[in-house]
Structure 1
Amino acid sequence: MSGRSPFYKELLGHLDEGDIAALTPESFARLPFTTKDDLRTRLKDLLSKPIHEGWIFYETTGTTGRATPCPRDNVDSIVNNTALSVCYDHVFRAHGENHVIGVMGPNELHSTGDTFGDVCRNLGHAHAKMWPHSPVVGFKRALEVLQEISVTGVFCTPNVAMSMAKEAIRAGLEPRELGLRFFMFTGELATPGLLKNIGEMWGATAYNCLYASQEASILGAVHGDGRLRTVPLNVYYELIDPVTTLPAPRSENGYRQGELVITHLYQGSKPLVRYRTGDLVRLYDAAGDASYPSEVLLPLGRVRDRIDLNGRQVTAYELEALILDGLSGAMDYQLIIDRVDGTDTLEVEVETRDGIPLPADTTAALATAARQAWGCPLSVTYGKLGGVTTTGAMVSWKAARVHDRRSAPDAERQAALAMVALRRSE
């Protein structure tokens, strides 16, 4: 690979076959990292073959930086989609037969439609590609298609499911009566509280089905037990301290937590070696009697999405998990962070069905939990959301969900607001 990729020829070209054969986990961990800046500056130099030798060209969204090329060949597609097919078969079987699957994700220069369409074909299920944010489809038509062809399951982001439920209610429809059996969520953070809320809203089971990125492909897939599993035949996983870059130690609770570094174990169009994903994850050992014996993977959000609350570093997962565990019935939410008299405060803006306030004991329990966890006074307000909160998959969880009044909007928050303005003008 290093001989065919100009970038890796420079980075790793000093290693001969003997050096590679002699690598151990310890010596491998001394090789240089591949970074996101490398991807943005070296672009096609990372590729191990010219684009015309692949079968399809994708790229990253480019909403917060230069789009980077992500072509794929048959090796890329076969190894990644096979891993998904093996895992998803258990989920699909748990929800009956005669499935028709809706695939609601962007298709232009993006892998969502092709990947999930291929997996459905592998498993013998019909599917329909429909991107509700596309002017060709829209949410109204997507809802009509769900009913017309009796869709049983949907691949989408959590916010697409929320937005579609709102559209259904506006149209006088009851989401729970539309026949959906399950949702397969990707593209955004999905904590247990969020999955529970959306599942109850639709009368369906909601899964966090995938941990992946356009550039790194499939890094985790949901199995029948509802947990994400690693794909160790395709990917070598390392966890590092994001500051020191030293290997992350195992905690007293038995898991490892740190920034994920991955190396592809297959040679596709763009294999990556020691790529720093920028994501915080936990890895738990598989149970000794597990039928699918790979580690359990829990994404915690991006390293740079950690938020300081009264001196505590809080991950995106920890923040959303605590909030949504106490917001049963919320159809959407946004967090407003401020600083009052030297103390960081939280305001949770919630959209509920028909604007009905949550029970007083629920909001009181949430306020108590936030004060105990982070020393934050917390209040709950109500209103219509759905503008910036819909941009998470295209920008970031933090840009979509957090309005931090302690500082001016950063570049990602500005990109999210600009995306909302563009959608409204179309």
Structure 2
Amino acid sequence: MFRSEQLFERAVKVMPGGVNSPVRAYQSVGSTPRFIRRADGAYVYDVDQNRYIDYICSWGPMILGHNNMKIREAVIQASYEGLSFGAATEMEVNMAERICRLVPSMEMVRMVNSGTEAVMSAIRAARGYTGRNKIIKFEGCYHGHSDSLLVKAGSGVMTAGIPDSLGVPEGCARDTLTAVYNDCDSVARLLEENKGEVAALIVEPVAGNMGVVEPCPGFLQGLRDLCTEHGAVLIFDEVITGFRLSLQGAQGYYGITPDLTTFGKIIGGGMPVGCYGGRREIMQTIAPCGSVYQAGTLSGNPIAMAAGLAELTQLEENPDIYLRLEEMGNYFRDRLRDILKAAGKSYQVTGVGSLSCLFFAEQPVLNYQTAKTSDTAEFARYFNWMLDHHIHLAPSQFEAIFLSAAHTKKDVDETLDAAEEFFRA
């Protein structure tokens, strides 16, 4: 028996499903999870000494690759001073100033401990600022596991086939309205039907939790215009796209200015961290300036701040990273489309920049409903084939493929060669 299988047997006895996050259990692909021992560059290594080309990248933040030397050194140096103070530090001021300088819409920020916490807090701020209760989200978009946002969510919820979650009181979900991604008319109807009651609209500017679904031309601007018209706060959830599509995130990439933005672990070099921020008048409703309460002992943790600053510094000093990732992403998607065409398959390849997805779907994927037409059984077969060929993909049809600056053309070609062999078989 392999070491990973032995560990999984032990894990299921002491952790629900043997994991600490559902999709890691490999249930949707009918396999046993690989237990990772270490990672470096574009590769992860499991406890059985197998090396894989990794396209999970810790679900996005490892844009510079795993175990980046400068980030690692920053963490080591910061740890000499202590791991947590529960008090104000210079490091968190430096991080806040850096984010506000890089992302023009962010006039003030508040550090938190995860993307989930960032989203939860941003929605509370929007409700406090507007004095309204209702929010609009999109089917298939995942914004963390807080109660009101698990309605028709994506990511692991979608992978497990769970439309909503048990344990969420009906009252929590009552004020959550769901619209159709890439359909401004569905948003306009909800705003009209709930006139003067919608505090915020939250959206992944590029949907990254029902696979990767790009915004259609005019969609994001349409949301901006509707929120302005109806006095609702536009929240961009950039936990995936922030500092990955560009130094200004998706909002810079597409030229749209939200009212509030949430970022996740990419601002901590992959460590547990997040932040939310935006217009000054909204952020000044947050305690101690205002009456919207939010707090956290580990918020602005000095180790996470040191890691994040080391990552953002490298991205800012080397802006050509984004050009290279865009080129590599386009190459990956174009060649994969050619492979599918040669094999007589009409599956969908989507993506933008360093984010990609192969949908085992016959029709264009524009939203949650079309994403769900994917053949998940065929994806599972593909996933296990690729894993056997030492390609580490997310164990779900409804997740992204992440490229990093550490991936080489050789890595990508090796991956595509394995895919070509699968589709020829």
TM-score, length of structure 2 as denominator length: 0.30
The structure whose residues are more often helix, as a share, is 2
The structure whose residues are more often strand, as a share, is 1
TM-score, length of structure 1 as denominator length: 0.30
